[in-house]
Amino acid sequence: MDGRNSRKADHVGKQRRETTFDKVALEAARRWKRLDLDKARAELFHQRARDNAATYRRNIESYIGTVDIPVGLAGPLRINGRNGTAIYQVPLATTEAALVASYQRGSRLITAAGGCNVRVVDQGLSRTPMFAFEGLVDAERFARFIKDHSGDLHAVVAKITAHGRLIGARPIIEGNHVYVDLRFRTGDASGQNMVTFAADAVCKAILEQAPVKPEHWFLEANFSGDKKASSKTLGDVRGKRVAADIYIPRELVRQRLHTTPERIVDYWYAGALGGVMSGTTGIQGHFANGLAALYLACGQDVACVAESATGMTRFERTAENDLYASVTLPNIMVGTVGGGTGLPSAKACLDILGLAGAGNSIALAEVCAAIVLAGELSIVGALCSGDFAMAHLSLSRGEPMNKSR
């Protein structure tokens, strides 16, 4: 392409970007006009909305602006991951006072103990379509066809995405219904849209070849566990299954958490029984706090916290009277490409971690498990030492920490 054509192409591209920007900004202005706000506030929000219109056009519909949520840092957090040791400052976005301070305390405890070991032990993301038939005989015939021809479906997925791949197609019969657990690998993307597009193509390919046709079918029939806590994946995986553990010397527990390994184990038994009595999925203290703050800061799908915040926390006293602590999270849904990860604030937070872009989703999942472990150590320590209420009172209301116990 010669210089003249190149300049012309650049000019056309610029015009298209400006047209898109003006259109989105104009639509935002019209929405603000319909809102009943005083002129000064409306003008402030409208100006910010206009300035950011083009940036968010692929991430939001009926756009009117953005919301500010403060971001704090918890760290240093030392992680001994599959690919070596790294020390992180972890960005957490929240409006809840005391949250970052708690994760900061837990992170520093982990680092002082030499770091926690973290591994992603399994991966897989499901879509679960359902096919309805006249009766059980047809349903069983359809399920057998899928079992016999599942190997043919990999090529279908390859045509849809270069980053994802099918790793399993398991039919489950329920009366005259067949649920199909289509499981995919999604590379460095969280992959929700990727597996939706791929599953749609797989279903249509199956229907073209199946010896019996369903009366009707649905692309997702609520068996995957998408955005909800489920016992199905507690012992399996959705997204990334991650585990972290650490041994903490007794004296360090006393110095940093102001309690003992014995009292922490006592609390764990009480909390485990309380969880069983209340019917929770898994046994854990507050996975959602750290995950929501990290997901929000780093451009993840925050609604996935509904499923990600399930799992197991365990505390034990060792033979040497030290503390063993572990967390297992079977539903970590994170990516370092796609979705909201390229938006300015999310990209900045991923850059703080050094985990922006391709090749980093495993490490980000490791950070998720480690920060959750830090939070479990800190909150249980506070409950055991009697500092829990006072810490929140001090940090949220500015009152001094006067412990009378």
Q: Are strands 311-317 and 282-283 parallel, antiparallel or unpaired?
A: parallel
Q: Which helix (H) or strand (E) segment is 373 a member of?
A: helix 361-385
Q: Could you give the CA distance from residue 393 to residue 248 in angstroms, rounded to a whole number?
A: 28
Active-site residue 96, yes or no?
Answer: yes
Active-site residue 258, yes or no?
Answer: no
Q: How far is CA 201 from CA 142, 188, 192, 194, 278, in A?
A: 17, 21, 15, 11, 41
CA-closest candidate to residue 92, choices 375, 340, 403: 375
Q: Could you give the CA distance from residue 133 to residue 145 in angstroms, rounded to a whole number?
A: 14
Q: How far is CA 171 from CA 140, 228, 236, in A?
A: 9, 22, 16
Q: For residue 168, list its beta bridge partners.
A: 183
Q: Which of 163, 227, 232, 347 is catalytic?
A: 227
Give start and end residues of each alpha helix (H) in 188-260: 192-209, 250-257
Q: How far is CA 106 from CA 51, 78, 253, in A?
A: 39, 11, 11
Active-site residue 227, yes or no?
Answer: yes
Q: Which of 27, 200, 301, 316 is catalytic?
A: 301
> Which amino acid would we find at residue 64?
I
- Tokens matching residue 246: 């650490």
Q: Which of 96, 122, 200, 262 is catalytic?
A: 96
- Tokens matching residue 237: 């995986």
Active-site residue 392, yes or no?
Answer: yes
> Which amino acid would we find at residue 358?
A
Q: Which of 46, 240, 286, 392 is catalytic?
A: 392
CA-closest candidate to residue 261, choices 252, 250, 245: 250
Residues designated as active site = 96, 227, 301, 392
